[in-house]
Amino acid sequence: MTGRIEGGAVAAGHELTVKAARHALEEGGNATDAACAAAWMACVVEPVLASPGGGGFAMVAENGATPQLCDFFARTPLHVNPDADFHAIEADFGTTTQTFHIGPGSTATPGFVPGIFALHGRHGRLPMARLIAPAAVIARRGHTVNAFQARLARIISPILLASEGTRALFAPSGGLLTEGQMLANPDLARFLESLAEGGPDWYMAEAVPRMLTLQHGAGHLREEDFEDYAPEWRTPLREKAADGLVWLNPPPAASGVMIALANRKAEKEEHPDECRPCIWAAALDHADRLRRDSGHDLDALAARLGPPSSRGTTHISVIDGEGGACALTVSNGEGNGHVVPGLGFMPNNMLGEEDVNPAGRSGWPTGVRLSSMMAPTIARGEDGTLHVLGSGGSNRIRSVIFLVLRRLMALRQTLAEAVEAPRLHVEAGHLDFEPGFLRTEAEALARMFPDHREWKEHSMFFGGCHAVSRRRDGTLEACGDPRRSGSADVMQ
């Protein structure tokens, strides 16, 4: 069907990302077209979180159809270079810090470009060149750095100041760009323009050799890593949740299994007279302990679910006017601290994220998909309501999606209430939680977890859940998470 689609809802991590998606819908595109256009724009205006040198996942459901999962996440290199450049930096969130590793040796085989083309090839309607064009225009013209992007730059400043290339892009006058200053990227504009014209063939013939110039002697990747890479289509995990069904990211991603385990625990324990946040924290702790006790063996964890029932990351959620949906989560880690000469983007540092690659410098198996906490999610209530959501937030993503789903599906809160409500995260027996819970709930949480940290304000540390919903009567809702300056738009 090629007719124009009327209406739609979009939520994403930047106003211009949302505008790119809306433009695709207005041009007659569907939810997949809008998500692809938004993904290219995110590479321009959310350059730490999204990059052609990264990867991701997309959950897609055409009107009424069973969702499908496109896995285009990073893969471990086919060879190990024992002399690779791989070193630690500290990201400072203010209340806590997190260690990441950067350098060319932290880069895994990226899947972003082949993945977006594969997603579009199966489900898109508009020509890819039309979806790339708005991002190329903004990259060349420049955009104003917003408060969130400036704050994020400060948090990971050791990465953005790590090399001559990153300093030229993110600190052209010596200091990091601040809120209100302009960030233009003509090299990225040329990359996008060439990609729009030449497609995947140009990418392999021209862009990949330039990406490999950063790898020679300092990284693990070779030409065959790119030649051997292909996106994978997978069957999502399907879970019951309150009065509906939820489709989650399946293995080799870790997120869906852990969310499902926590959800099942909560379904058994939740009661209106109990401290719900305490039950949720216990459920998250349960899933985390199971993962650690299994030695991060996802097959063992997935077996507990039985048969299917009847970090530097950003997310895009779209529902089109026909009820088609696309939840697309992409990540570049935080970037490896180097910009590809002439292309204007940082490759990923996925091998440098402990939650993605617990093996560290070189202990990982070669040629396998890395596990991930990214969790693009689609849910349908018994009443026909459709929810599309996902989040950034490194290893906190599983907690974000679990909590938002419980609020949407079990408590039946509005989209804004569920997204903006206070969050908590449990890992290795340690609890972090935001302000906003009832005082009795906060005190009960502190008693349950003596090792805890109560944050003074809502923080990007707890992710950025951008979500859209379509009610049975066709009413659309969209909410961008204020923790990450999310933006949203509804076209009725």
* pLDDT over 70 (residue 206): yes
CA pair distance 218, 211, nearest whole angstrom: 12
- What angle do helix axes 112-123 and 128-141 make, rounded to 10 degrees? 140
CA pair distance 187, 343, nearest whole angstrom: 5
Q: Are residues 385 and 303 in the same domain?
A: yes
In a domain, 318, yes or no: no
How is residue 482 written in tokens?
A: 């204020």
* pLDDT over 90 (residue 421): yes
CA pair distance 260, 136, nearest whole angstrom: 39
- Which segment of 153-167, 273-287, 306-320 scores lowest on mean pLDDT? 306-320
pLDDT at 492: 77
**Mean per-residue pLDDT for 91-111?**
86
Q: Domains in the chain: how many in total?
A: 2
pLDDT at 310: 31
**Mean per-residue pLDDT for 349-365?**
81
In a domain, 304, yes or no: yes
pLDDT at 279: 96
Mean pLDDT, all residues of the chain: 92
pLDDT at 305: 64
In a domain, 86, yes or no: yes
Q: Are residues 129 and 247 in the same domain?
A: no
Percent of the chain residues past pLDDT 90, beyond the cut: 80
Is residue 307 very low, low, confident or very high in pLDDT (cuts 50, 70, 90)? very low
pLDDT at 356: 75
* pLDDT over 60 (residue 3): no
Of the candidates 246, 244, 252, 43, the residue with the CA atom closest to the CA atom of residue 134: 43
pLDDT at 359: 72
In a domain, 470, yes or no: yes
Percent of the chain residues past pLDDT 70, beyond the cut: 95
In a domain, 266, yes or no: yes
* pLDDT over 90 (residue 413): yes
263 membership: H or E segment, kind and range: helix 255-269
Contact 356, 370 (CB under 8 A): yes
pLDDT at 274: 85
CATH number, domain at 292?
Answer: 3.60.20
* pLDDT over 50 (residue 326): yes
CA pair distance 336, 130, nearest whole angstrom: 30
Looking at residue 203, the DSSP 8-state letter turns out to be I
In a domain, 491, yes or no: no
- 10 Å Cβ neighbour count for 154? 13
* pLDDT over 80 (residue 178): yes
- pLDDT tens readout for residues 423-481: 999 999 999 999 999 999 999 999 999 999 999 999 999 999 999 999 988 899 999 99
The shares of helix, strand and coil residues in the chain, as percent rounded to the nearest 5, are 40, 20, 40
Q: Are residues 157 and 296 in the same domain?
A: no
Q: Strand 391-392 vs strand 476-479: parallel, antiparallel, or unpaired?
A: unpaired
Q: Are residues 142 and 285 in the same domain?
A: no
**Mean per-residue pLDDT for 269-283?**
90
pLDDT at 2: 33
pLDDT at 4: 46
In a domain, 365, yes or no: no
In a domain, 3, yes or no: no
Of the candidates 375, 383, 428, the residue with the CA atom closest to the CA atom of residue 403: 375
pLDDT at 304: 66
* pLDDT over 90 (residue 18): yes
Residue 269 CB burial class (10 angstroms; 0-12, 13-18, ≥19): middle
Burial 326-345 (b: 16+ CB within 10 A, else e): bbbbbbbbbbbbbbbeebbb
**Domain that includes residue 448, residue range:** 234-313+373-481
Q: Which of 323, 352, 381 is the last residue of a domain?
A: 352
Q: Are residues 283 and 192 in the same domain?
A: no
* CA angle, residues 347, 353, 354, in degrees to nearest 5: 160
β-partners of residue 8 are 320, 491
- pLDDT tens readout for residues 80-98: 999 999 998 887 777 677 7
377 in active site: no
pLDDT at 309: 33
Q: Are residues 383 and 452 in the same domain?
A: yes
Q: Are residues 348 and 409 in the same domain?
A: no
Amino acid making up residue 244: G
Q: Are residues 88 and 23 in the same domain?
A: yes
pLDDT at 244: 94
- 10 Å Cβ neighbour count for 454? 15
Q: Are residues 142 and 239 in the same domain?
A: no
Of the candidates 481, 478, 485, 378, the residue with the CA atom closest to the CA atom of residue 22: 478
- Which segment of 187-201, 260-274, 278-292, 355-369 scores lowest on mean pLDDT? 355-369
Q: Work out the end-to-end distance of the chain between its first and last CA atoms, rounded to an integer number of angstroms.
A: 21
Q: Are residues 135 and 252 in the same domain?
A: no
How is residue 207 written in tokens?
A: 């862009």
**Mean per-residue pLDDT for 118-136?**
98
- pLDDT tens readout for residues 47-70: 999 999 999 999 999 887 899 999
Is residue 203 very low, low, confident or very high in pLDDT (cuts 50, 70, 90)? very high
Residue 209 CB burial class (10 angstroms; 0-12, 13-18, ≥19): exposed
CA torsion 464-422-415-123 (nearest 10°) is 30
Of the candidates 433, 408, 418, 392, the residue with the CA atom closest to the CA atom of residue 284: 433
Of the candidates 443, 445, 460, 340, the residue with the CA atom closest to the CA atom of residue 394: 460
Which of the following is catalytic: 76, 107, 313, 314? 313
Q: Are residues 448 and 430 in the same domain?
A: yes
- 10 Å Cβ neighbour count for 197? 10
Is residue 360 very low, low, confident or very high in pLDDT (cuts 50, 70, 90)? confident
Q: Are residues 305 and 392 in the same domain?
A: yes
**Mean per-residue pLDDT for 322-336?**
95
pLDDT at 286: 94
Length of the chain: 492
